[in-house]
Structure 1
Amino acid sequence: MFKGLGDMGDLSKMMEAAQQMQTKMTEMQEGLARLTVVGEAGAGLVKATATAKGELTALEIAPSIFVASEKEVVEDLILAAIKDAQRRASDKAAQEMARLTREMGLPADMKLPF
């Protein structure tokens, strides 16, 4: 289509590649919003569910830990479960980003979006 235009053909290919990358990034972001991870603390007594984008969506607390004298322990377990879910979400997002860069033939250590 751009034969005979010299470097303009290369520019067209670069623009097309950038458009494809943007589309794939959007799809990945939407996928991260649908993926969920579960963080836990206290051997599963407290579980926090989050999307792979880090949005907390649920919190599950075993009734057995509701003892007034253990209030601070429960609070600590809740925080620990949330932090675990956030860490797992971050790890999952990094895995998905690495997969995307691999599929696009980009260097594994390349940070996207730019």
Structure 2
Amino acid sequence: MAGMFDLMKQAQAMQAKMQDVQAELERVEVEGQSGGGMVRITLTAKGQMKGITLDPSLLKPEDKDMLEDLIVAAHDDARKKGERVMEERMQSLTAGLPLPPGFKLPF
């Protein structure tokens, strides 16, 4: 029975830490780039867009399609970086807990 009590205490501690990590991920910002830095997008680690910066040379009507592609690529780059930050934080949070392989948090 003591083992179950210890597991419940660990789960409660992890839940409190997870709330802290979730709050931190809302503040952590990552930047994705494309076009050699001509397009930069800033997201929170949770994926909320905070800003976009475009090189003025891209603001030509004939470059519209290319600019759209660069924006999508920069957003994808930032999203992937945010996911890596989130994974790192979650791994440090669950270190030492007996979770099955492939078990992902948050649920």
TM-score range, shorter chain: 0.7 to 0.9
Aligned pair 1:69/2:62, yes or no? yes
- Give, in whole Å, the separation in 2 of the partners of 1:97 and 1:33: 14
- Give, in whole Å, the separation in 2 of the partners of 1:89 and 1:16: 30
1:107: how far off? 5.5
- Aligned match of 1:42: 35
- Give, in whole Å, the separation in 1 of the partners of 2:106 and 2:36: 37
- Give, in whole Å, the separation in 1 of the partners of 2:69 and 2:60: 14
- Give, in whole Å, the separation in 2 of the partners of 1:65 and 1:90: 28
Question: Which string of whole-angstrom CA distances, capped at 9 and with x for unpartnered residues, describes residues 33-68 of structure 1?
Answer: 111100000000000000011111111111111111
Quote the RMSD (CA, aligned, Å). Answer: 1.7
Query: Percent same amino acid at aligned positions?
Result: 39
Correspondence 1:16-27 to 2 at 5 A: 16-27=9-20
Gaps of 5+ in 1: 1-6
Note closer, same or farther for the CA distance 1:67–1:107 as it changes in structure 2 (3 Å cut): farther
1:13: how far off? 2.7
- Give, in whole Å, the separation in 1 of the partners of 2:98 and 2:35: 39
Q: Choose between structure 1 and 2 for higher RCO, CA contacts under 8 A separated by at least 6 residues.
A: 2
Correspondence 1:1-114 to 2 at 5 A: 7=1, 9-102=2-95, 105-106=96-97, 109=101, 110-114=103-107
Gaps of 5+ in 2: none
TM-score (norm 1): 0.82
TM-score (norm 2): 0.87
Note closer, same or farther for the CA distance 1:107–1:95 as it changes in structure 2 (3 Å cut): farther
Q: Give the letter for the 2:5 counterpart.
A: S
Q: Give the letter for the 2:92 counterpart.
A: R
How many residues are aligned here?
A: 105
1:100: how far off? 1.5
Find the structure with the greater CA-based Rg.
1
1:106: how far off? 2.4
